[in-house]
Amino acid sequence: MDTINIRLAQLSDAEDIATFNQIMAKETEEKVLLPDVVLAGVNTLLKNPSQGFYIVAEIDFKVVGCLMDYKGVE
């Protein structure tokens, strides 16, 4: 079995995370999200850790999943 590495996401992970978010919206809510809008949102969160963060899971240095913790804005 391959080893899964868990780490905090970086800006370089934004496209993978955005793709996962689009797939999840399609599967769970039958919604098609605009790629540029999703990517902008992911980048905003990655650049503002006080609002939340993403964690990614990797196998063989390939991102295979993610989790978001969103703190929101006070």
| Tally of structural domains, the chain | 1
Residue 7 within any structural domain of the chain: no
Residue 46 within any structural domain of the chain: yes
Residue 2 within any structural domain of the chain: no
pTM over 0.75? The answer is: yes
Residue 6 within any structural domain of the chain: no
Instruction: Give the residue numbers spanning the domain of 46.
Output: 15-70
Residue 5 within any structural domain of the chain: no
Task: State pLDDT tens for residues 7-66.
Answer: 999 999 999 999 999 999 999 999 999 999 999 999 999 999 999 999 999 999 999 999
Whether the predicted pLDDT of 72 surpasses 80: no
Q: Please, what is the average pLDDT of the chain? A: 95
Residue 1 within any structural domain of the chain: no
Contact between residue 55 and residue 7 where contact means Cβ atoms under 8 Å apart: yes
Residue 59 within any structural domain of the chain: yes
Residue 9 within any structural domain of the chain: no
